Structure 1
């Protein structure tokens, strides 16, 4: 560790999760989990390549050359797709931005890592289902069972609102308003909430 740094890497990493992500940015549990998994892979790679345990790693070890080697390892050895590779890099870059504010003396290392570009990739066009296919999916759950009723409500809500699965899992009873005009509050990524009206058929499922 450089003598100019007042906080070692383990301390900075812990503060990044406990202070920056949770207290300051209030990121979602899914984001924290994704970042945690990214650093688990990074630390395991550091032990394999540098023969250093997490407690002995220095910020200078995480230079651009090392991070590029880690990203190459993800694609070549772990067979990660470009999207996953970019997600791991996003977690590392977020940490490095935090380091730049906490330890300005590490700016040279930080800048070298932040200069690593995301990989471009083609996003396939998302197809669509016909009305007949949608109706078949909604009719698939067995309404004679509790799990079937639950699944029917979940599928209808997803179709009605366009919510992500993660957003559906975050919904609570208090987010649902039933009445002459029914709607549900959806808690999106980045604390971006939105209210979405419910169709009468969807609303009726929630009270049946």
Structure 2
């Protein structure tokens, strides 16, 4: 006799197709979560950040719990994400980065059914002191640009980069990712393809910046590297290094 099939699976049937949380380790869960993030199209830096910050919690749990159980105590979580980092002298902003990353991971695990309760909902972000961002005056900007030695390859490159940033409000991380083909002189604009929101956007250029970019391309010359701004050796520039150069140049100019 043929048994009647129901539209909704029973608990026993669900158990056949659903992985047991006892067989899923923290590291396996994190690996699956990171793959999920990549499929969503999150930026490479975002995925790297999740991996780094969530791995810190796994390390803490291994040392203090002796296992990789997905169900952990709130006390252990708070110790690994707040107490210990504070003892190591981490700033509240850095600790909040750690907390935020793990909140996203635990929320994903809850949706997957890997954990019964999302204890990260009980872990609050730390208060951060609001700092006043000092803006540059026209005099400061003139002094900064004037202090750059444009008689060298690197100097002129930095001069063009900073003029471009000041004119368009692009971030350093966006500027170092620009490629030669992203510049459209016929439309006097450029395309930012790897912005923070991961959406392409068109940015208009002033005539002065357009002129500087044309001069820069002539000085840059041909290269196997398609990036717009490259090192003397034709390599990609590091955003942090560029920021430090800009900071040092500002101090030199007294801004």
**Category of TM-score, reference length = shorter chain:** 0.7 to 0.9
Q: CA deviation at 1:144?
A: 1.7
Give me the TM-score of the superposition, normalised by structure 2.
0.69
Q: Who is 2:46 aligned against? A: 31
Give me the TM-score of the superposition, normalised by structure 1.
0.84
The reply on whether 1:136 has 2:143 as its aligned counterpart is: yes
| Runs of at least 5 residues in structure 2 that lack an aligned partner in the other structure | 1-18, 216-255
Q: Who is 1:92 aligned against? A: 102
Please say if residues 103 and 121 of structure 2, whose CA atoms lie closer than 8 Å, have aligned partners that are also in contact: yes
Distance 2:49 2:108 in 1: 17
| Runs of at least 5 residues in structure 1 that lack an aligned partner in the other structure | none
Q: What is the count of residue pairs matched by the alignment?
A: 194
Q: Who is 2:31 aligned against? A: 14
Please say if residues 27 and 58 of structure 2, whose CA atoms lie closer than 8 Å, have aligned partners that are also in contact: no
Distance 1:101 1:165 in 2: 36
Q: CA deviation at 1:174?
A: 2.4
1:113-147 CA-to-partner distances (Å, cap 9, x unmatched) read 12322222232121111111111222332222111
* Greater C-alpha radius of gyration: 2
The reply on whether 1:58 has 2:69 as its aligned counterpart is: yes
Distance 2:199 2:206 in 1: 22
Distance 1:41 1:134 in 2: 41
Q: CA deviation at 1:4?
A: 4.8
Distance 1:97 1:120 in 2: 22
1:26-83 CA-to-partner distances (Å, cap 9, x unmatched) read 1112212222221332233223323x3xxx411113x322121012211221x11111
Change (3 A) 1:8 1:46: closer
Q: CA deviation at 1:92?
A: 0.3
Q: Who is 2:234 aligned against? A: none
Q: Who is 2:238 aligned against? A: none
The residue correspondences of 1:29-178 to structure 2 (distance < 5 A) are 29-50=44-65, 52=66, 56-61=67-72, 63-70=73-80, 71-77=82-88, 79-103=89-113, 106-108=115-117, 110=118, 112-178=119-185
SS in 1 for 2:116: helix
What's the C-alpha RMSD, in Å, of the aligned pairs?
2.0
Whose helix fraction is larger, Structure 1's or Structure 2's?
1
